[in-house]
Amino acid sequence: MSQSELSPGAPPPTHANTINEQQHGIWVRITQGPGLVSVLAVFVALVLGGLLIAATDAKVATTAGYLFSRPSDFFSALWAAGTDSYVSLFQGSIYNSRQGFAPFLETLTVSTPLICAGLGVALAFRAGLFNIGAQGQIIIGSIMAAYAGFAWHLPFGIHLLVVIFMGVLGGAVWGGLVGLLKARTGAHEVILTIMFNYVALYFLDFLLNTKAFQRPGETNPISPILDPSAVFPALPGSRLHLGFVMAIGLTILVAWILNRSTIGFEFRAVGANPAAARTAGVNVARSTILVMAIAGALAGAAGVAQVAGTEQVLTAGIAASLGFDAITVALLGRSTPWGTFFAGLLFGAFRAGAVTMQISTGTPIDIVLVVQSLIVLFIAAPPLVRAMFGLNRKSKNKPPKTPKHAAPAPAAPASQGGGA
Amino acid sequence: MSAPAPTLPAKLRPLAPVSWKTPIMLSVIGLLSLVFFGFAGSEQTATFGISTGGDVFTLPDLVVPGIATGIVLGLGMCVLAGYSIFLAREHRPTPGWVPMVFAALFIFAFLVWVVSGARTPQISLAGLIAGSVTLAVPLVFGSLSGVLCERAGVVNIAIEGQLLGGAFSAAIIASVTGSPMLGLLAAAVAGALVSVVLAIFSIKYLVNQIIVGVVLNVLVSGITGFLFTTVMQEDPELYNSPGRLPVIDIPGLSAIPIIGPILFRQSIVGYLMYIAVAAVWIGLFKTRWGLRVRAVGEHPKAADTLGIKVNTTRFVNVVLGGAIAGIGGSFFTLVAIDSFTKEISGGRGFIALAAVIFGRWNPIGAFFAALLFGFADNLQSILTIIGTPVPSQFMAMLPYVVTVFAVAGLVGKSRAPAADGEPYVKG
Amino acid sequence: MKLELQGISKAFGSFYANEDIDLVVEEGQIHCLLGENGAGKSTLMNVLYGLYEPTAGRILVDGKPVVFRGPGDAMAAGIGMVHQHFMLVPVFTVAENVALGAEATKAGGILDLEVTRKKIREISDKYGFDVDPDAIVEDLPVGVQQRVEIIKALVRNAEVLILDEPTAVLTPQETDELLDIMRQLKSNGTSIVFISHKLREVKAVSDVITVIRRGRVVGDAPPEAETTELASMMVGREVKLTMDKEPANPGEATFKVKNLSVISSTGQRVVDDLSFEIHRGEILAIAGVQGNGQTELTEAILGIQDRVTGSITLEGKELLGRSVKQVLGSGIGFVPEDRTVDGLVPEFTIAENLVLDLYDKAPFAKGISMRPAEVRKNAESRVAEFDVRTPSAENLASSLSGGNQQKVVMARELSRPLRLFIASQPTRGVDVGSIEFLHRRIVDERDGGTPVMIVSTELDEVMQLADRIAVLYKGRLIGIVGADTPRDVLGLMMAGVSPSEAESSHQDNPDDMEGDFA
């Protein structure tokens, strides 16, 4: 169905109508827009996580035994089990009376690689590419950065810059290679990046067992400690290092690239409609390679933040699950640079607080994975969240915005056209 | 526009309707094999044990010289490559058996090279093959799940989560009930449940299928990890001692050298694997159900106009696939070892995904791809034991590298179902 | 079987695609539904076929009301449909496609395709279809694929057959054959609903014509009605079937194509040794049935075809081997044939779309930094100049109607001094009001001294715009003829007959040919 008939058919809005529409529009934007859905998604995920914690809590189980004689015991135990964990999560990530705001500094530290890698995933998303490969890109970035950090001995200042450059280069090469293969052969980047992750992982494992990388006198796969000149200066009394400033800088840079630069315009055009981009003179192959290289470079920066900031050595687990967390960070941030930044902070807080939580309440860190993935699932399905809170409008819901979303149903543009 | 016009167009290319990719690939690999496995091979001889203790009749060990065998096999590969080049010059495509025979020669040449270069140049071929099949079991189940989902048009990145969920449920239910068979059933249910989430989010809410798959893997990993710590580790006796499924030995047949143990000395999961491969293949390509499934995966709108319920078909297939992958997951906790640990599936779901692609979305293709990857996995651990020049990590990389080559179209051309990954919205 | 629609309405949100439609299809009749693109014909048929649920109204079969919950119900009631875009699974065989949804099976749900093969052969023999049941559908020519669709409906015992714009993809010859098949089906008692906007075909084959405009029935007409009368019913006002334009004032030939050949990715020679020239200030129209190399020709000029030989020069400079960016930069305005696929990024704003191929040039960019203020300023002036109907240039391009989207593409491509203007299907899927506007702008560009190349499969459009007409058939140039060439001669040329032969055939019996070509 073409839309040629739609516009003439729509009645011209009267004045009163317009004002009403405006007020209605604001209400709709609050209830239907991404902001509220995101908040609700986080809320629902936390509640479900709390229920999971409570379900396995010993006290809850005991009190459930006499639920009908003394229900209050059960519910207070249930409440306590859920909230205790979250309170200690908060205390471990933001503030507690003993350490003040020191935990918040830890949150920022943990967030740094999440933000950098998340930006890489988000940028690729915007160009229509699923970069599942942040994990591998972080690993290769870490390898190159770490090697430059412990094997080369350069003057203070220059050394750190070289380390950063090498890490970013490593990630860019690993990501760019995927872009190259996709551009040249049409292979799907999801499959390529997944495979590249494992290749990188085994490569790291191999290197850590070679003379060049293994710390002398060690049998464990661990590298020498990086030179003091090769690491980010840290804030005294905390692990927070200058890498966080780099993360802020990269956020600003990515925002500029996407919204204000000609290459960003190309990326977005290729992402939204590669055929039209090509017809308009954009070199789609070059654009694909460039996007993946920049995305890889950002993930490489996350690797730098790990080896030259937080860890200061190269280990087999240097990338932990950062690459996969980065995907959830980008999705929660709706692939916008600043959205990714704040999503990175949130998930960083979860990560940082989870350590305290595990120590004080015994709740395993894995709960963070559960909450994190639930958040992303709910955010990706706004109609579900709105249905839970009875916010659904009667009109048809638009599918959520993802890089390769469904071709909209003919009905969807029709209803938009009618309302315009 | 001051540049002078080029007199000859830069894009002038020879009109070659026949692809040169295969001949070139074969030639390069053939020559490299000749040099590395042949001329630069080891002077030791490689010994391959064929029979094991329980066999009805005993075949002698196969003893081959390293360099000579490498040269012979390398020359064989070069001949095949030459034939492929000859065909390409005649503008004829290379027939399918050439790369297959080539691959077989390559694998054998590699084996001879790697074994003859080892500290103890001796392996049991029977053990190698039987072990490969065993390691391939979860991969086969996982890839069948992928085939079922993707043939219906739903990309299944969540195989890993389905395997892990199956492994966990099998362990806990078998432990609590004391019945490994109930554990097997629970594994299927758990896999199906993971699939239900995948189906609801991707089919009903139109969330991008890749996103749901990736997130589901994290979710299942989180939940099983959480419950492992809070429940299983609190009381491993009660919650994490599932016991093993017995190996069912078919008398007589299982004593045939090499193929006996593969086909007739398996746990019930192993037998189910063969049944599942056959059933999925027949189902997809010989039945009404399969024709409809494939139509839904290729052209959902066409199927819809013929009264086939597209989204119902997809839902059923995804859930069915999940159940099959769940059974595959039970292999980890009911067959391989008898307890659950965190992340026990260890990324095999992604290898299974690779097998789906490498096997060209065909159950039998996926089966052989999974066998190949199981072979690589098994070889890696055997090679570590006999001490070879190849670092085990590179063997571990093999499935992933092979898949990159496959999707890049360097070994044959694979074509996914046309509507794979596209949500279907009526209208 | 008699089919009745009573008061059918179909709404999408607040917009009504069909409103209160009554229609009666008598047994053994060819009933034509005539209407512009987007008038609501296809929506109506999708309602009838059970793909859409009607918002109001009812359907009666032989006087009894029926409710179709899906296509399955419609098929069971004896209704078959051949969709404009074929509903065939490309990788399946003919037999598999025909069997799908109504499969014969042996025990255990095992397919029995032999039953289907037999049925296909029967129908194929009866109507002289010549269809091999074991051929893979994607290897078949379009005309044969269409017959597979008809077989699909007949195998399901369709008594009413809906044909949705069936001739859009056919050559004039294939169209003739299809019209014959329709008459044959009719004589066997099958009713046919024939959806079209091509007046000549409609007049040639219909028993009754119902005209639809903006989702409503305008009225019925007999096939003997005057073409102009039908046209004005369809459009809703007097239509000028011709266009007022000054005669061309051609200058020197600045655009030259010599011995151009294009090989497709499957190895076929889709453009075959093409040579032609376009002069300043003239419009050369490339006519031909869809899929005869037009797309590849324009893409070769633009530089997105890989395997190209020959030469394309603009003002003496070779274009072959250059990137798209360089080609556009040499002063070519390019309107692609499918605006939503190649011309626009629907998710971008109108303003962004208006600089889609200029974003990195001054004044819109300085280095790699873009200047949003300039983009906005440009958008405001283009929107005003081309009368794009939108509340704001910051709205998404996807919010525009087809006609307004096309205006955006045209506005962008005509917004700079051009040395050559190429437009493919410049008015496809565009309402009549916009068509006249867009044609005017194309002629204005010509009058400004630009060589213009128009590619169109609509013979009407070709004849209205062209100063000279080049006809393509299977990638070859059949001939270049004047704009005053009779329509049936062009029709023959589009089927591969050389101009001289076509001309003499026209002289022999002009009456016989009239009316059969669209």
Tell me which residues of chain C, numbers 45 to 74, contact chain B at a CB-CB cutoff of 8 Å.
Answer: 46, 49, 51-52, 70-73
Query: Do the Cβ atoms of A198 and B426 come within 8 Å?
Result: no
Q: Do the chains contact at A411 and B427, CB–CB below 8 Å?
A: yes
Instruction: Inform me whether the C-beta atom of residue B91 falls under 8 Å from chain C C-beta atoms.
Output: no
What gap in Å lies between CA A86 and CA A350, rounded to an integer?
10
3-state secondary structure (DSSP) of residue B67: helix
CB contact under 8 A, A280 and C398: no
Q: What is the DSSP string of C437-494?
A: HHHHHHHHHHHTT--EEEEES-HHHHHHH-SEEEEEETTEEEEEEETTS-HHHHHHHH
As a whole number of angstroms, the distance between CA C154 and CA C82 comes to 11
What sections of A241-336 are H helices per DSSP?
A: 243-260, 262-272, 274-279, 284-305, 322-332
Query: Taking 90 as the threshold, does the pLDDT of residue A85 lie above it?
Result: no
List pLDDT tens digits, range B21-31.
Answer: 778 888 888 89
Tokens of B285: 């390509």
pLDDT of residue C176: 83
In whole numbers, what is the pLDDT of chain A averaged over residues? Answer: 84
* Number of B–C residue contacts, CB under 8 Å: 113
Residues listed for chain C: 518
Strand partners, C482: C468
* Nearest CA distance, C309 vs chain B (angstrom): 6
Comparing alpha-carbon positions, the chain B residue that sits nearest to C261 is B12
Measure in Å the smallest separation between the Cα of C412 and chain A Cα atoms.
Answer: 11
Q: What domains can be seen in chain B, in order of their start residue?
A: 10-112 (no CATH), 133-407 (1.10.3470)
Which residues make beta-bridge pairs with C51? none
- Contact check, Cβ <8 Å, A206/B214: no
In chain B, what residues touch C309 (CB-CB under 8 Å)? 9, 12
Q: Helical H runs in B10-65?
A: 21-33
**B413 — phi, psi (to 5°)?**
-120, 125
Chain C contact for B208 (CB, 8 A cutoff): no
pLDDT (0 to 100) of residue B56: 66
Q: Along the 518 residues of chain C, how does pLDDT read in single tens digits?
A: 888 999 999 888 777 888 899 999 998 899 999 887 777 888 888 888 888 889 999 999 988 999 998 888 899 899 999 988 899 999 999 999 999 988 888 888 899 999 999 999 999 998 888 899 999 998 888 888 999 999 999 999 899 999 988 887 776 677 888 999 999 999 988 999 998 877 888 888 999 999 988 888 988 989 888 887 887 888 776 666 566 788 888 899 999 999 999 998 777 889 999 999 999 999 999 998 878 899 999 999 999 998 899 999 999 999 998 999 999 999 999 999 888 889 999 999 999 999 999 998 888 999 899 999 999 999 999 999 998 888 889 999 988 878 889 999 999 999 889 999 999 999 887 777 788 889 999 999 999 999 999 999 888 888 889 999 999 988 999 999 998 888 888 888 888 888 888 888 777 655 444 433 33
pLDDT at residue B263 greater than cutoff 90: no
C325 shares contact with chain B (CB less than 8 Å): no
Rama region for C317: left / alpha / beta (φ>0; ψ in -120 to 50; rest): beta
Does the beta carbon of C92 lie under 8 angstroms from any beta carbon of chain B?
yes
Strand partners, C161: C80, C192
pLDDT at B300: 94
ipTM of the complex: 0.83
Residue from the list A132, A373, A400 with its beta carbon closest to the beta carbon of B222 = A373
| Residue B141 or residue B92, greater confidence | B141
What is the model's pLDDT at position A9? 34
Given strand B45-49, what is the order of strands in its sheet? B62-65, B45-49, B122-124
Interchain CB contact of C14 with A (< 8 Å): yes
Would an 8 Å CB–CB cutoff place C99 in contact with chain B?
A: yes
CB contact under 8 A, B211 and A408: no
Dihedrals phi, psi of C465, to nearest 5 degrees? -90, -30
| CB within 8 Å of B402: residues ≥ 6 apart | B354, B358, B372, B373, B411
Chain C, 438 to 497: residues with Cβ < 8 Å from chain A are: none
Chains in touch with C (≥3 Cβ pairs < 8 A): A, B
B396 to A202: CB separation less than 8 angstroms, yes or no: yes
Give the nearest partner residue to A276 out of C356, C389, C429, using CB atoms: C356
Q: Which of B11, B92, B296, B309 to mutate to test the interface with C (most CBs of C within 10 A)?
A: B11
Query: What subunits make at least 3 CB pairs under 8 angstroms with A?
Result: B, C
Q: Distance from B341 to chain A by nearest Cα, in Å?
A: 13
The confidence band for A146, taking pLDDT boundaries of 50, 70 and 90, is very high
Range with top average pLDDT, A111-115, B300-304, C264-268: A111-115
Mean pLDDT for A307-311 is 93
Higher pLDDT, B386 or A115: A115
Burial of A154 (0-12, 13-18, 19+ CB in 10 A): middle
Chain A residues whose beta carbon lies within 8 Å of the beta carbon of residue B400: 195-196, 198-199
Say whether B305 and C308 touch across the interface (CB within 8 A).
Answer: no
What is the pLDDT confidence band of residue A408, given thresholds at 50, 70 and 90?
very low
Q: Which of C87, C262, C296, C416 to mutate to test the interface with B (most CBs of B within 10 A)?
A: C87
Question: Which of C54, C140, A191, A289 lies closest to B401, judged by CA?
Answer: A191
Quote the strand ranges of B163-310, DSSP E.
247-249, 265-267
At C239 the pLDDT is 61
The Cα–Cα gap between C334 and A216 comes to 65
The strands making up C160-164's β-sheet, listed across from edge to edge, are: C79-82, C160-164, C191-196, C30-35, C208-213, C216-221
Task: Using alpha carbons, list the distances in angstroms from residue A5 to C40, C235, C428.
Answer: 9, 12, 14
The residue behind tokens 């930006």 is: A119
Helix (H, G, I), strand (E, B) or coil at A280: coil
Structure confidence at residue B54 (pLDDT):
64
Of A261, A273, A414, the CB nearest to C15: A414
Question: Residue B369 in contact with residue B380, Cβ under 8 Å?
Answer: no
* Omega cis (within 30) before C133: no
Tell me if C172 sits within 8 A of C492, measured CB to CB: yes
Nearest CA to C107 out of B287, B293, B281, B292 is that of B287
Q: Which residues of A touch B413 (CB under 8 A)?
A: none
Q: Tell me if B394 and A202 make a contact (CB, 8 A cut-off).
A: yes
Q: How far is CA C270 from the centre of its chain?
A: 19
Residue B122 forms beta bridges with which residues? B47
B5 contacts chain C (CB < 8 A): yes
Kindly tell me the number of DSSP H helices and DSSP E strands found in chain B. 16, 5
Give Cβ neighbours of residue C304 (< 8 Å, ≥ 6 apart): A278, A279, C324
> CA–CA separation, A208 vs A213, rounded Å?
5
Q: Are A121 and A137 in contact (CB under 8 A)?
A: no
> Are the Cβ atoms of B305 and C91 closer than 8 angstroms?
no
**Nearest C-alpha of chain A: how many angstroms from B253?**
39
pTM for the predicted model, two decimal places:
0.85
Closest CB from C39, C329, C365 relative to A5: C39
Measured between beta carbons, the chain C residues lying within 8 angstroms of B11 are: 306-308, 320-321
Domain map (residue ranges) of chain A:
113-340
* C317–B295 C-beta distance less than 8 A: no
Query: C211 in helix, strand or coil?
Result: strand
Cβ distance A280 to C324 less than 8 Å, yes or no, reads yes
Which range in A2-16, B408-422, C484-498 is most confidently predicted, on average pLDDT?
C484-498
> Chain C closest CA to B293's CA: distance in Å?
10
CA distance A277 to A271: 9
**Number of Cβ atoms within 10 Å of the Cβ of C123:** 18
* Whole-number pLDDT of residue C162: 93
CB C110 within 8 A of CB B287: yes
